[in-house]
Amino acid sequence: MFKGFYTVASGMLAQQRRTEMLSNNMANANTPGYKADQSSMRAFPEMLLERFGQKEVPVSNGFSVPENQTVGPLNTGVYMQEAMPNFVQGDVQQTGSKTDVALIDVLMPTDAQKKGSVFFTVQNPNGDIRYTRNGNFTLDSQGYLTNGNGYYVLDEKGRTIQLSSDQFTIDENGKITGANGERALLGAGYSDNPLRMIKEGEGLYRTQDGTPLANAYGQQGVRFKTQQGFLERSNVDASRTMTDMLTAYRSFEANQKILQAYDKSMEKAANEIGRVN
């Protein structure tokens, strides 16, 4: 009976965590460059129950033989193993702002297991390199190109990009030309397996060991372009996410009702079955 409590509780916890993940996806449905998380549900190992006993053999010396009888399998519950971002390209939306830039994947090497992806390179205040698909950039008071977090946007050599005004152009190859002749090449990192990157929040990612990603320019089989005045939208499917949230809620509710049934059974066993009249 108590094993049932643990099994149902694990199902409730898994659905609660899945609901939280889907709620976060929905909240970021309008965040540029956001990649929706996908959950992976796994079951705990099943156990095979058997009943052990002895069978008396009708002989003169009272010989007994051990025996076991299969009761059946016992499921020990489920858990949400991990949440993995979906790096499928989002829709591109025109904004008209010169500081908005969209990364558009043209050709990425792929196999049955993974697909590569290209990211903007930015630098946080501690000097650490981070990666993002959010091209909603701006110029700070000193003319440095920064993202929404205030992180510096870097060029292909890992240097900050400073411009005299917002009257600059970026061609489809990532080349930046300022109003006073400033020139730079927008930094872009390539990961052949982005699922191995660590999601930090605010649309930022980092590598597992801190090693910078390879320069996306000139990578064999990698083709991408930049588009000024456009933003890559979130790849969250709002209608599908709402449906999944309802499914997760119903599953949580079903487990909750089973837990209540177990609780009533235990109450009856404790208060009525053992009662002496």
Which pLDDT does position 91 carry in this prediction? Answer: 93
Q: Using an 8 Å Cβ cutoff, are 85 and 132 in contact?
A: no
Which pLDDT does position 212 carry in this prediction? Answer: 92
Q: Quick check: 83 pLDDT over 60?
A: yes
The residues, ordered by sequence, that sit 6+ positions from 268 with a Cβ below 8 Å of its Cβ are none
Nearest of 40, 15, 7 to residue 250 by alpha carbon = 15
Lowest pLDDT segment from 41-55, 132-146, 180-194, 203-217: 41-55
Distance CA 211, CA 190 (A): 12
- Domain ranges for the chain, please list them: 2-83+248-273, 90-232
- Supply the pTM of this predicted model: 0.80
User: 223 phi and psi, to 5 degrees?
Assistant: -130, 125
Distance CA 146, CA 140 (A): 7
Which pLDDT does position 114 carry in this prediction? Answer: 67
- Mean pLDDT over 76-80 rounds to 83
- The CA-based angle 258-262-268, given to 5 degrees, is 145
Q: Using an 8 Å Cβ cutoff, are 135 and 174 in contact?
A: no
Q: Quick check: 1 pLDDT over 60?
A: no
Mind listing the pLDDT tens digit for each residue in 194-218?
A: 989 999 988 999 999 889 999 999 8
Mind listing the pLDDT tens digit for each residue in 226-263?
A: 999 999 999 999 999 999 999 999 999 999 998 888 88
Nearest of 158, 87, 155, 86 to residue 118 by alpha carbon = 87
* Secondary structure element (H or E) that encloses residue 183, with its range: strand 183-185
Nearest of 103, 111, 172, 161 to residue 136 by alpha carbon = 103
